[in-house]
């Protein structure tokens, strides 16, 4: 019969040399296996012994078993630590680790506002019409009654590719394109899109921005029709408590022309810091389409008339969400964007 202490020291030596989990499993079976393990074999003849010897053998067999189990556990921990250390060295990326959860994005606030404007006006029967961002001098200026040398051209200073080709300074040229394409009034279109001007970035302006232009051509349209349409749009977007007003202004492509204001959402029209104590915020321009503009679009102004407007989408988003710096929309700072 083998000696438990000898068995134990043999087992511990084998465990200490083992380099792999499979080796440890084999050793475990060899020594601690229920049927044929060395310890069980050692105890198999225990019944023939004297009670005193029996107790002594039982105790030392148990001690041997516990010592071997402890050595197996310790060696397993060592081998696992070595495996992880190797992995860290050889693989910078542990592909067995779970990855970070993917964040869910959402639509940019300017796109949200543009789509809301489209939805509201589509509900009134307006159709979305798009035009090119690279525009000819004729569509951007001439067709809108802004002839070469006209001082109003300075308001729409843009970026030129050539004397005839430029980045459009407003969405108004799409009025002409729409009339030429659709030919037959009634025409009710809106045209959202990117515009460009030679302006330095500051809190209220950027060299690139978006506008949404509207054009209605029909019979006997009035300033009242225009104002009612724009009031409906503003109240749908900002709430029924908002009021609107038009002030006389000048644009070469409308006659009469107006600036269009909405009551400040912060003070409700009472006057506060953010509306510079005016109670009103300017959204854009509007007016009755100039007869020459209709003619340039191929429409007879003795038969038809129209109204039009051009609002800045960033300006409308600022009004809706009380944003005080236009640059925030384009800085891609998630702390800002995630609020909408
Ligand atoms: N195009 C003008 C601008 O960018 C805005 C504008 C004013 C558009 C009056 C219009 C209008 O259609 O009727 O400043």
Instruction: State the pLDDT at residue 131.
Output: 97
Q: What's the pLDDT tens digit per position in 186-204?
A: 999 999 999 999 999 999 8
- For ligand 1, the distance from its centroid to the CA atom of residue 164, given in whole angstroms, is 21
Ligand 1 atom index nearest CA of 169:
4
Average pLDDT, the chain: 93
Best of 208, 212, 213, 297 for a ligand 1 pocket test (most atoms within 8 Å of beta carbon): 213
Q: What's the pLDDT tens digit per position in 217-261?
A: 999 999 999 999 999 999 999 999 999 999 999 999 999 999 999
Residue 251 Cβ inside 6 Å of ligand 1? The answer reads yes
- For ligand 1, the distance from its centroid to the CA atom of residue 189, given in whole angstroms, is 14
> Taking residues 1-21, what's their average pLDDT?
89
pTM passes above 0.75: no
Residue 304 has pLDDT above 90, yes or no: yes
Instruction: State the pLDDT at residue 229.
Output: 98
Q: What's the pLDDT tens digit per position in 95-144?
A: 787 888 888 899 999 999 999 999 999 999 999 999 999 999 999 999 99
Ligand 1 atom index nearest CA of 287:
13
Residue 40 has pLDDT above 90, yes or no: no
**Percentage of residues of the chain with pLDDT beyond 90:** 73
Residue 1 has pLDDT above 70, yes or no: no
Q: What's the pLDDT tens digit per position in 42-92?
A: 888 788 888 888 888 889 989 999 999 999 999 999 999 998 888 878 777
Residue closest via CA to ligand 1's atom 13 equals 286
Best of 176, 253, 261, 289 for a ligand 1 pocket test (most atoms within 8 Å of beta carbon): 253
DSSP string, 63-82: HHHHHHHHHHHHHHHHHHHH
Ligand 1 atom index nearest CA of 311:
5
- For ligand 1, the distance from its centroid to the CA atom of residue 213, given in whole angstroms, is 7
Inter-residue contact 134 to 161 (CB < 8 Å): yes
Residue 213 Cβ inside 6 Å of ligand 1? The answer reads yes
Query: Long-range contacts: 70-79, Cβ < 8 Å, 24+?
Result: 71/11, 71/12, 71/15, 71/16, 72/15, 72/24, 72/27, 72/28, 75/15, 75/16, 75/18, 75/24, 76/21, 76/24, 79/18, 79/19, 79/20, 79/21, 79/24
Residue closest via CA to ligand 1's atom 5 equals 310
Residue 294 Cβ inside 6 Å of ligand 1? The answer reads no
Best of 167, 170, 174 for a ligand 1 pocket test (most atoms within 8 Å of beta carbon): 170
Instruction: State the pLDDT at residue 326.
Output: 94
In angstroms, the CA 219 to CA 32 distance is: 101
Q: Which of 141-150, 248-257, 301-310 has the lowest mean pLDDT?
A: 141-150
Number of H helices, E strands in the chain: 11, 10
Residue 174 Cβ inside 6 Å of ligand 1? The answer reads no
Confidence of residue 28 (pLDDT cuts 50, 70, 90): very high
Residue 310 Cβ inside 6 Å of ligand 1? The answer reads yes
In angstroms, the CA 199 to CA 236 distance is: 32
**Within the chain, where are the H helices?**
4-17, 21-32, 38-43, 51-90, 109-122, 137-140, 173-182, 223-238, 291-296, 313-321, 334-337
Instruction: State the pLDDT at residue 327.
Output: 96
To which residue do tokens 């038009």 refer?
A: 246
């Amino acid at each position: 019969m083998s000696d438990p202490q000898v068995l134990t020291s043999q087992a511990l030596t084998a465990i200490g040399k083992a380099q792999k989990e499979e080796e440890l499993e084999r050793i475990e079976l060899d020594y601690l296996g229920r049927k044929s393990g060395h310890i069980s074999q050692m105890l198999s003849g225990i019944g023939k012994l004297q009670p005193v010897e029996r107790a002594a053998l039982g105790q030392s067999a148990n001690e041997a078993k516990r010592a071997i189990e402890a050595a197996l556990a310790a060696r397993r921990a060592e081998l696992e630590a070595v495996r992880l250390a190797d992995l860290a060295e050889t693989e910078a990326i542990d592909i067995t680790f779970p990855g970070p959860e993917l964040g869910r994005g959402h639509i940019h606030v300017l796109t949200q506002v543009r789509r809301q404007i489209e939805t509201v006006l589509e509900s009134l029967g307006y159709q979305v019409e798009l035009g090119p961002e690279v525009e000819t001098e004729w569509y951007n200026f001439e067709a809108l009654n802004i002839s070469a040398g006209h001082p109003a051209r300075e308001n729409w200073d843009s970026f030129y590719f050539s004397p005839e080709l430029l980045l459009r300074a407003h969405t108004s040229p799409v009025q002409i394109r729409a009339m030429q394409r659709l030919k037959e009034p009634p025409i009710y279109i809106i045209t959202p899109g990117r515009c460009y001007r030679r302006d330095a970035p500051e809190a209220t302006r950027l060299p690139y921005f978006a506008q949404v232009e509207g054009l209605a051509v029909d019979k006997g349209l009035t300033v009242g029709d225009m104002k009612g349409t724009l009031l409906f749009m503003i109240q749908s977007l900002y709430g029924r408590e908002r009021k609107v007003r038009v002030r006389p202004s000048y644009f070469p492509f409308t006659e009469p022309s107006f600036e269009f204001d909405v009551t400040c959402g912060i003070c409700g029209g009472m006057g506060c810091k953010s509306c510079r104590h005016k109670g009103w915020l300017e959204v854009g321009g509007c007016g009755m389409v100039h007869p020459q503009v209709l003619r340039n679009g191929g429409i007879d102004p003795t038969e038809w008339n129209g109204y039009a407007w051009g609002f800045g989408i960033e300006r409308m988003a600022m009004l809706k969400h009380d944003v005080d710096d236009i640059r925030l929309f384009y800085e891609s700072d998630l702390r800002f964007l995630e609020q909408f």
